[in-house]
Amino acid sequence: MKIGNIELPKYAALAPLAGVADRAMREISREYGAVWTVGEMTSSKGLSYGSKKSAELLEINEAERPTAVQLFGSEPEVMAEAAKMALEYKPDAIDINFGCPVPKIAGNGGGSALMKDPELAGRIVRAVVDAVDIPVTVKFRAGWDNEHLNAVEFACICEANGASALTVHGRTRTQMYAPPVNWDIIRRVKEAVSVPVIGNGDVVSPESAKALYEQTGCDLVMVGRGAMGNPWIFKRIAHYMETGELLPEPTPEERMAVLKKHIKLLCQYKGEYTGMREARKHSSWYIKGMRGAAEFRRECGALETPEDLENLIDKVLLASENEGEF
C-alpha cells in the first residue's frame, strides 16, 4: 500500500500508544517486523507554547523509519502551525488524532471529541494538509457512541480534505477499550473511500490479524496493546499471513534478551532515572504468562537500576529453567 509517496509492504503497523510507543518501542517494533510506526500523540498547543515535553515526543531515530508523528488539537490554525513545527524532526508523515478517548483529551475538545463535529475535523485536516509537504493521515473511531456510528461519513470528509490514509479503531469513544470491537465498520469505511484504510482493534495474534484482513479488506492492520511486551508479534503476523504457519512463541531467553535491549534503549533516550521507572511496566508485560509472573511483577514495580533488572531477569530465567516451561 502507499501513503502518499511512501510505499509500505504488508502486514502490520505499531499503533501510537500514549506512554508506550516512544522511540525505544518503535525501534524494537521495527526490528521485529512492524512496517510502519506512529509516535505518541503530541499536543498542538503544547508545541505552539514551546513545551519541551511536547517537542521531545516528536524526536525520531533513523532505525524507526518509515514513521509518522501524531498531533492532537481542536483548532485548525494551531494544528497547522504545529504540523509545520513538527517538520523540523523530519517525519515521513503527520498523523492527526481524532480517536483518543481519555477524558483529559476528549473533554477538552481534542481526540475523539472531533467525531461529534465532522465539519471542524475536516477543516483541521485541510489546514494541516495545506501546511506541510508530506502525507497527512488520520486516526479515528467507529463513532462517539453506539447511537452515533459516523465513521463512514467522517472518513469521507477526511478524504475529501486531503487525508492520504485513514486508520479506524473499531470501538466508540464511550467504549474506551472495552469489548466488543466493531470490525464491520472498518469494512464499511474501506468500501466508502479510495485512500488506504488501516484496521485497528483487538489484533493480539497472527490469527486475529488475518481475521481482520479477511473480514474488512483493509490495507494494513495496526497493533496496539497486543505489541506491549510482545514486539515479535509483527514478525509472527507476517509469517502467518504468508505461509499459514504459526511461528513458535519466543523462548524465555529470547524474551529476556529483548526486554534487556528495550530497557537499555529507554535509558539511553530518556536517562536512567526515567528509563528505569518506565521499565517497570514494560518488564511486567514481557514476563506475562511466564512461570512466577505474578510474583515477579511485584519486583518489576520496584525496579530502579539496570542492576535491578539484571537480577530480575536472572530470577525469571532460573524459574523457567527449573520448571522446564513458561
Give the tens place of pLDDT for each residue, 302-319: 999 999 999 999 999 998
Q: Kind of pairing, strands 6-7 and 2-3?
A: antiparallel
Lowest mean pLDDT among 20-24, 34-38, 49-53, 189-193: 49-53
- Which of 211, 243, 275 delimits the end of a domain? 243
- For residues 278 and 300, give the distance between their C-alpha atoms in angstroms, rounded to a whole number: 10
Confidence of residue 326 (pLDDT cuts 50, 70, 90): very low
Confidence of residue 323 (pLDDT cuts 50, 70, 90): low
Residue 195 and residue 271 share a domain? no
Residue 317 and residue 204 share a domain? no
In the 8-state DSSP scheme, what is residue 152? H
Residue 137 and residue 49 share a domain? yes
pLDDT at residue 325, rounded to an integer: 46
For the segment 148-159, what is each residue's pLDDT rounded down to a tens digit? 899 999 999 999
Number of domains in the chain: 2
Residue 150 and residue 52 share a domain? yes
pLDDT at residue 107, rounded to an integer: 87
Model confidence, pTM: 0.93
Provide the residue range defining the domain that includes 74. 2-243
For the segment 273-301, what is each residue's pLDDT rounded down to a tens digit? 999 999 999 999 999 989 888 889 999 99
Residue 209 and residue 262 share a domain? no
Please, what is the average pLDDT of the chain? 94
Residue 114 and residue 26 share a domain? yes
Confidence of residue 55 (pLDDT cuts 50, 70, 90): confident
- For residues 167 and 317, give the distance between their C-alpha atoms in angstroms, rounded to a whole number: 39
Residue 157 and residue 227 share a domain? yes
- For residues 39 and 70, give the distance between their C-alpha atoms in angstroms, rounded to a whole number: 6
Give the type of residue at 3: I
For the segment 78-134, what is each residue's pLDDT rounded down to a tens digit? 999 999 999 999 999 999 999 999 989 998 899 999 999 999 999 999 999 999 999
Residue 190 and residue 297 share a domain? no
Cis ω on the peptide bond leading into residue 76 (within 30° of 0)? no
pLDDT at residue 178, rounded to an integer: 86
Residue 105 and residue 181 share a domain? yes
Residue 256 and residue 239 share a domain? no
Q: One of 100, 218, 267, 300 is an active-site residue; which one?
A: 100
Report the CATH number that the domain containing residue 277 is assigned in CATH: 1.10.1200.80
- 100 carries an active-site annotation: yes
For the segment 31-51, what is each residue's pLDDT rounded down to a tens digit? 999 999 999 999 999 998 888
Residue 227 and residue 207 share a domain? yes
Report the CATH number that the domain containing residue 132 is assigned in CATH: 3.20.20.70
**In 3D, which of 238, 220, 277 has the Cα closest to residue 38?**
220
Average pLDDT over residues 161-188: 94
- For residues 75 and 325, give the distance between their C-alpha atoms in angstroms, rounded to a whole number: 54
pLDDT at residue 320, rounded to an integer: 84
Average pLDDT over residues 237-259: 96
Residue 280 and residue 163 share a domain? no
